[in-house]
Amino acid sequence: DQQVKQNSPSLSVQEGRISILNCDYTNSMFDYFLWYKKYPAEGPTFLISISSIKDKNEDGRFTVFLNKSAKHLSLHIVPSQPGDSAVYFCAAREGANNLFFGTGTRLTVIP
């Protein structure tokens, strides 16, 4: 059973606009959430994370929002750049346990 879900397999955005990638989870015990970015033929690379005690974390153009009551998190990229085109994976963890990954969303930023 998929505990972390990314329901949008793909997203296309114009350069300079905002990209919003969504992620839902079912396990209320998850307390740490991460976003990974993956280019073709490379492994996922860590992008940004958030602890369940926060509802927002920002790093440059990337902001992650967490809504615990809705079991939902989102990644905002502003402004989007062509180099942001990649597959984005949401991941979640409960305590010192292993990560559970979503199925990924392919972002295409159109120049």
Partner 1 sequence: EAGVVQSPRYKIIEKKQPVAFWCNPISGHNTLYWYRQNLGQGPELLIRYENEEAVDDSQLPKDRFSAERLKGVDSTLKIQPAELGDSAVYLCASGLGLAVGTQYFGPGTRLTVL
Euclidean distance between the first and the last CA atom of the chain, given in angstroms as a whole number: 38
Q: Which is nearer to partner 1, 4 or 109 (CB)?
A: 4
State both tokens at 26: 């079912």
| Angle in degrees, CA 91, 77, 97, rounded to 5 | 15
| Conformational region of residue 26, where left means phi above 0, alpha means psi within -120 to 50, and beta covers everything else | alpha
Nearer to partner 1, 15 or 31 (CB): 31
25 makes contact with partner 1 (CB under 8 A) = no
The 3-state DSSP class for residue 74 equals strand
Residues in 35-94 that interact with partner 1 by CB under 8 A: 36, 41-46, 49, 89, 91, 93
Determine the interface stretch with partner 1 among 12-20, 30-38, 54-62, 73-81 (rule: CB under 8 A). 30-38
Which pair of tokens denotes residue 44?
């996922």
Instruction: Indicate the residue type of 39.
Output: Y
By beta-carbon proximity to partner 1, the closer residue of 16 and 59 is 59
Q: Of 3 and 74, which CB lies nearer to partner 1 in the complex structure? A: 3
Residues of this chain that interact with partner 1 (CB under 8 A) are 4, 9, 32, 34, 36, 41-46, 49, 89, 91, 93, 96-99, 101-104
